[in-house]
Amino acid sequence: MQLCRLDHTNTSTAKDILSVQCPAYKEESKIIGFDGIPYLNDNIDTIMMSQETFIGCYDDDHLLGFIAYEKREDHYQITRLCVVPTHFRKGVASRLVDHILTTSKSGPIHVQTGSLNTPAIDLYRRFGFVHDYISEAEPGVWLQCLVRH
């Protein structure tokens, strides 16, 4: 597996990102019992206009997963972590999270995921993320907010 920065402003790359993101978030929506995850509404244009930095994980020429983040004033915010469902639990997400941890030099790293998404919460906890707070994204839909200092 090889990691590299993705040029999400490229149409072909944006399509590849969506080909991973849509099935990944559909799986998360099943886990948390909520199909209104905003990233399920993304399209090529919204990906191409994003201000996030995208890092992809490839096996040969196939995008297996990616992580996206934003550098804020005093911290990093992981905004997306998506893996092709056929590659769940094969180390792709761990490799991507580890990359962010080793390349971000200053400030804490924040992330949010559905409170019922225990696979994601467990992943982040393995990397030293701890509970920060819980927020209600929609009525009855709770987000677990984690931070690593």
pLDDT in tens, 136-146: 988 989 999 99
| Percent of the chain residues past pLDDT 70, beyond the cut | 100
| Residue 41: per-residue pLDDT | 92
Q: What pTM was computed for the model?
A: 0.92
DSSP state of 10: S
Per-residue pLDDT, averaged over 73-93, amounts to 94
Per-residue pLDDT, averaged over 58-71, amounts to 95
Q: In what order do the strands lie in the sheet with 130-138?
A: 2-6, 53-59, 62-71, 76-83, 109-114, 141-148, 130-138
DSSP state of 105: -
The encoded tokens of residue 13 equal 């790359």
Query: What are 99-117's pLDDT values in tens digits?
Result: 999 988 778 999 999 999 9
Beta pairing partners, 147: 110, 130
Answer yes or no: are the C-beta atoms of 136 and 108 closer than 8 Å: no
Per-residue pLDDT, averaged over 71-92, amounts to 94
